[in-house]
């Protein structure tokens, strides 16, 4: 004897399958949540354009920032402040600009590329005369310029690099510009000027104290500080670009620069810092 097929059986099977799929969907982790249901930190990115004098200090600054902001993917580009402004104006995707002086961020804001209200001075740079040549004693800037054995003195390009501008001011105020003129070799940035000295392609250089105090260079050569009365203050300033003004991570980094941890790092690299806010 044959049994007739139950017409309700396929419908019940489909209903059970749909119920199982619905339950699985409810139990699956939702976007933005970990498997245990807790909120997952959102992925953020931050791109920083920084003056070349900060190249070594940024290693410590970025590490301290990311320790408290583990979800932020941070990238950076260093170079002469003037060159970085040109890149930003031409569309380079940077969120935060850390300049070697306050003038370049103001120019960037004037050209419609940054949020002027976010401009903040976070440190003051210091200029030094540095040499790695064992036979050269940097007793004073004048003695090095006038030393007949000194053929090359490295500085950053004064037209685009604030430390180069400070070097030129110091030479002019000491009346040494004519004597130094034929000896000067210019790097695009203060980091490149320091590289000329490090590699022996220059006998001495007028560079940032932050570079010669870096872990890489602090045991190399000898240096003396150039009196700060010989050049205009080197105001290291930060500003949010138009892109960065809408980036919460960029705003947090800007606030971080004014905090105690960042100030301690900057002081360790030879910078002066403004009074605590």
Structural domains in the chain plus CATH codes: 44-124+233-268 (3.40.190.10), 126-230 (3.40.190.10)
Which residues of the chain fall short of a pLDDT of 70?
1-42, 277
Count Cβ atoms below 10 Å from residue 103 Cβ, excluding itself.
17
Which residue's entry shows tokens 């205009």?
Answer: 232
pLDDT at position 26, please?
34
E strand intervals along 100-217? 120-125, 127-131, 153-156, 184-187, 204-208
103-110 and 81-89 helices, crossing angle to 10°: 10
pLDDT in tens, 134-164: 999 999 999 999 999 999 999 999 999 999 9
> 263: burial class by Cβ within 10 Å (0-12, 13-18, 19+)?
middle
pLDDT at position 36, please?
39
Give CB contacts under 8 A, 24+ apart, made by 168-171: 169/230, 169/231, 169/232, 170/127, 170/141, 170/206, 170/226, 170/227, 170/230, 170/231, 171/141, 171/145, 171/206
pTM of the entire structure? 0.80
Give the DSSP H/E element, type plus range, for residue 98: strand 96-99
User: Residues 204, 221: contact at Cβ < 8 Å?
Assistant: no
Tokens of 213: 């105090």
């Amino acid at each position: 004897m044959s049994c007739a097929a139950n017409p309700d059986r396929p419908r019940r099977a489909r209903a059970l399958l749909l119920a199982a799929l619905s339950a699985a969907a409810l139990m699956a982790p939702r976007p933005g949540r970990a498997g245990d249901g807790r909120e997952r930190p959102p992925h953020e990115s931050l791109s920083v354009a920084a003056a070349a004098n900060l190249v070594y200090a940024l290693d410590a600054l970025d590490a301290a920032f990311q320790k408290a902001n583990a979800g932020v993917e941070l990238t950076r580009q260093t170079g002469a402040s003037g060159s970085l402004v040109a890149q930003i104006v031409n569309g380079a995707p940077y969120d935060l600009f850390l300049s070697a002086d306050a003038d370049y961020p103001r120019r960037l804001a004037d050209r419609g590329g940054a949020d002027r209200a976010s401009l903040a001075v976070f440190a003051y740079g210091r200029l030094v005369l540095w040499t790695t040549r064992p036979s050269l004693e940097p007793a004073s800037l004048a003695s090095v310029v006038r030393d007949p054995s000194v053929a090359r003195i490295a500085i950053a390009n004064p037209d685009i690099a604030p430390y180069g501008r400070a070097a030129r001011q110091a030479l002019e105020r000491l009346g040494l510009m004519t004597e130094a003129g034929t000896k000067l070799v210019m790097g695009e940035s203060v980091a490149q000027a320091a590289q000329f000295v490090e590699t022996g392609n220059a006998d001495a250089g007028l560079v940032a104290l932050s570079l010669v105090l870096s872990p890489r260079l602090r045991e190399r050569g000898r240096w003396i500080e150039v009196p700060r009365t010989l050049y205009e203050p080197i105001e290291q300033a930060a500003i949010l670009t138009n892109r960065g003004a809408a980036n919460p991570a960029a705003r947090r980094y800007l606030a971080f620069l004014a905090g105690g941890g960042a100030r301690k790092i900057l002081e360790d690299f030879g910078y002066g810092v403004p009074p605590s806010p």
